[in-house]
Chain A
Amino acid sequence: MFFQHIKVRLAAIEYSDIFGRLTLEAFKHDAIEASVGISIIFGSIILVAVLTYYKLWTWLWTEWLTSVDHKKIGVMYLVVTVLMLFKGVVDALMMRAQQVLSVGDSFGYLTSSHYQQLFTAHGTTMIFFVAMGAVAALMNIIVPLQIGARDVAFPFLNNLSFWLFAVGASLLMVSLMIGEFSGAGWVGYPPLSGLEYNPGVGIDYWIWSLQISGIGSLLTGINFLVTIFKMRCPGMTLMKMPLFVWSVFNSVILIVFAFPILTATLAMLSLDRLLGMHFFTSDFGGSAMMYVNLIWAWGHPEVYILILPAFGVFSEVVATFSEKRLFGYVSMVWALISITILSFLVWLHHFFTMGAGPNVNTFFGFMTMIIAVPTGVKVFNWLFTMYKGKVHLTNPILWFLGFVFIFTIGGMTGVLMGVAPVDFQVHGSLFLIAHFHSMVVGGVLFGLIAGYVYWFPKIFGFKLNEKLGEYAWFCWMFGFLLTALPLYALGLMGATRRMDHYEASTGWAPLFVVAAIGAIIIFCGIGFQVLQLLVSFKERNKNRDLTGDPWNGRTLEWTTSSPPPVYNFAFIPEVKDRDAFWDQKQTGIPLHGEYKEIHMPKNTPLGFYIGVLSFTFSFGLIWYMMWLAAISFVGIVVCILLRLFDQHTDFYISAAEVKKIEEQTLKNKRFV
């Protein structure tokens, strides 16, 4: 009786009990869409062939997929992130090309519906699977090392989080081949994303892709909050934590408070679509504006979830490469905390034009402008750290300098848009697009790339090629400015976002051409980064880091070998000062007694199983294959019970084994 109306709805569409609404139609795409799908399938076949040929399946399964080691999970995040970055960048290039070609009488090479899916997929990919993925990667690899811990608080949960993240990404990829993706923008405003105007599977793919990966992020948030609170080594009080840890700490607090809002909001949208509820519909008393409020109550903290770890990276990079203690540590910490609190008080600036009234708009406008203050504090502190420091112009510092330039432009245009009357003029225009790309590319992405280059030797044991990195940096900088600056101008001229066609009389075409050239230069930058990785790998024996401390570092992760042993530290470090390793270098490295056996968590395949099952669960709900969803759900519960009854979740590494590993490391160091 409860499900009567679902049956009514299913009777109205082409539906079978076994395949739900999945028909052969779902596999038919136009040439351009199909080529993407075919290349994904082709790539997968090659991957499977290589793994089989070199007999790597067992290695992959036991060493990686089932691993609960935070460093390996971090590397897996990195792999998914890089793949998704490639997809997101191709989306961007396709959009730029369309806007160059689709002027006046020409309508470009993409259909409107494909273009809509492109910009939705681009935003979703870049925020959820590139930026979030890269943040998760760095935080996984570095945080336990920096706080002197052997792993995170909940290693199994960490593995599960990764798989939920990977499932979210694969749902997005599968939508390219089976069915379609959402065309309602990356935040999916109803009523456009409601059942009435979008009955197809696109929105459902989007919802479940976000929902599953969002739950993964939420678990990561809980995990790292507990890790940072409970797992710090002796002596490391809160005010002695490295700033990267501080930034991740604030970022995970934001995750813990913001992501449940996303979960609830997507659940309500999903209920609207699946059970015919009326939360956000235009009739039956629903309120679409409620959705807009809720999604930004999550969405604004979300951008800070991404930018704070990038700030943390810069704090580490600037101090290390200036050979100086970070300027204004305490003010840096309080700036992070103020940003964390303020980020929950600005969400309405995403829709000043909603008509909330001048008082409300003024409040949120003020809050928006106030956020620039702690951010400014941070930028100045970094610059003061460099002042009179011994600055080494390495790759990470270049990314930092690029960040200062682009992020400041983005920040100033942000404050500009915090003024509600100005926002009324540029709302929904390319000016806004240029603004937030300045923040997310110049801020988040540059920060994460700096972190990637900085910690690369720690993760993989060899340094990246500096020269190619410089070329990549130059292309990114130049290419980005070439893309963003025309978009600012176009926005002021009235060009709106998400536009797949415009009239020739507007005179916008030349600027769009410049922007497209910029995008191509950025693509070259990525090419240099791929080349950098390949060349560095080829020359890895030349650039190997045997000391574990290639940059003359300051924090604990550099005390252990590169890459670190599975247990991270043979002896749990004790900390007396900020910049603990630097302090040890001045006062003498502490001596330790006999090696002891080490307690470690065991690998488990359950995270992977739950991931696969949540994929089939979502797939079942998207296509209305209710039996599949039901079976998958039962499967997930069974997996949880299996974990509950598993009494052998950990093991000991013997003292002899530890001694062997540590002595090998010492031998390598002497060899240097």
Chain B
Amino acid sequence: MKQQFPDTHHDVSSTTIFGFWVYLMTDAVMFATFFATYVVLQGGTFGGPGIRDIVHLPFVLTETLLLLASSFTCGIAMLGVPKRETTKVIFWFFVTFVLGLIFLGMEFFEFNRLTADGHNWQTSAFLSAYFTLIGTHGLHIVAGLFFLPFFLAQLWRCGFSAAILRRLTCFRIYWQFIYLIWIFTFTIVYLIGVK
């Protein structure tokens, strides 16, 4: 592999994308901390509901599939990049956006149901950890959905500039990462939890 030595120091795309990977690594460590805390505090239900009492697996599976689909459409969108197919890219990112939004809505619905039943994050350590872990993931989705339209607007206005390509690439990596985190959530919180 050839090593590139840029003689200017401004944001070269490969540098930015590598930097973004490193950022995601730090994010992964943060999630790992929340996961570890969740696993430790899982039993701390303090007489309140445990994971088995609050989880409805088909619902969570639907969420998972939605996010999987959005991750997939995100990939399709990026396939339009080499040929500079603006409408294709924007369309598939739009689908990604909508799927992400539905996922978020379902997550919100789930939280709402729990708190309406009187099981909020103040009920027990388990629920604190549960809400924080799922909520942090949800906030990442919110951040992604918030910035995506701006990137698409830039793409629409300025075409495929280096900066926009870089941002779309970063978004794609980010979105896959968020999905990966969800797989861990699905496994550790839900599947192992109800076993």
Same complex origin of A and B: yes
A10 interface contact, C-beta 8 A: no
By a CB distance below 8 angstroms, the chain B residues around A1 are 112, 115-116
By a CB distance below 8 angstroms, the chain B residues around A598 are 8
Contact A264 B126 (CB under 8 A): no
By a CB distance below 8 angstroms, the chain A residues around B10 are 155, 599-601, 649-650
By a CB distance below 8 angstroms, the chain B residues around A229 are 18
1/0 per residue, CB under 8 A from B, across A606-631: the answer is 00000000000000000000000000
By a CB distance below 8 angstroms, the chain A residues around B44 are 278, 284-287
B194 interface contact, C-beta 8 A: no
* Count of A-B contacts judged by CB separation below 8 Å: 153
Rounded to whole angstroms, the CA-CA distance of A233 and B23 in the bound complex is: 24
1/0 per residue, CB under 8 A from B, across A145-160: the answer is 0000111111100000
Q: Which of B26-34, B56-64, B83-91, B99-107 contacts A (4 or more CB under 8 A)?
A: B26-34
Contact B5 A276 (CB under 8 A): no
B177 interface contact, C-beta 8 A: no
The answer to whether A260 and B9 touch (CB under 8 A), given A218-B26, A285-B46, is no
Contact B9 A285 (CB under 8 A): no
Contact A233 B22 (CB under 8 A): no
Contact B8 A599 (CB under 8 A): yes
By a CB distance below 8 angstroms, the chain B residues around A647 are 163
Rounded to whole angstroms, the CA-CA distance of A276 and B23 in the bound complex is: 30
A589 interface contact, C-beta 8 A: no
Contact A271 B23 (CB under 8 A): no
Among residues of A, the one whose C-beta sits closest to the C-beta of B11 is A154
The answer to whether A285 and B45 touch (CB under 8 A), given A230-B18, A279-B125, A279-B129, is yes
Rounded to whole angstroms, the CA-CA distance of A639 and B89 in the bound complex is: 27
Chain B facing A: main interface SS:
helix
By a CB distance below 8 angstroms, the chain A residues around B5 are 232-234, 572
Which residues of A (37-75) have their CB < 8 Å from a CB of B? none
Contact B8 A277 (CB under 8 A): no
1/0 per residue, CB under 8 A from B, across A218-231: the answer is 10011101100111
Contact A265 B22 (CB under 8 A): no
The answer to whether A5 and B122 touch (CB under 8 A), given A268-B132, A283-B46, is yes
Task: Classify chain B: how many residues form its interface, as a range.
Answer: 35 or more
Rounded to whole angstroms, the CA-CA distance of A272 and B163 in the bound complex is: 40
Among candidates B29, B111, B132, residue contacting A261 with C-beta atoms closer than 8 Å = B29
Among candidates B7, B9, B26, B43, residue contacting A222 with C-beta atoms closer than 8 Å = B26
**B4, B6, B22, B25 interface centre (most CB from chain A within 10 Å):** B22
Give me the interface of B with A, judged by CB distance under 8 Å: 4-12, 14-16, 18-19, 22-23, 25-27, 29-30, 33-34, 36-37, 40-41, 43-46, 111-112, 115-116, 120-126, 128-129, 131-132, 146-147, 150, 154, 163, 167
Give me the interface of A with B, judged by CB distance under 8 Å: 1-2, 5, 144, 149-155, 218, 221-223, 225-226, 229-234, 256-257, 259-261, 263-265, 267-268, 271-272, 275-279, 281, 283-287, 290, 294, 572, 598-601, 637, 641, 644-645, 647, 649-650
17 interchain pairs (CB within 8 A)?
A2-B111, A225-B22, A226-B15, A230-B4, A232-B5, A256-B25, A257-B26, A271-B128, A271-B132, A276-B122, A278-B125, A285-B125, A287-B125, A601-B9, A644-B147, A649-B10, A650-B10
Nearest 7 pairs of A and B residues by beta carbon: A285-B44, A285-B125, A277-B128, A264-B33, A260-B29, A599-B8, A260-B30
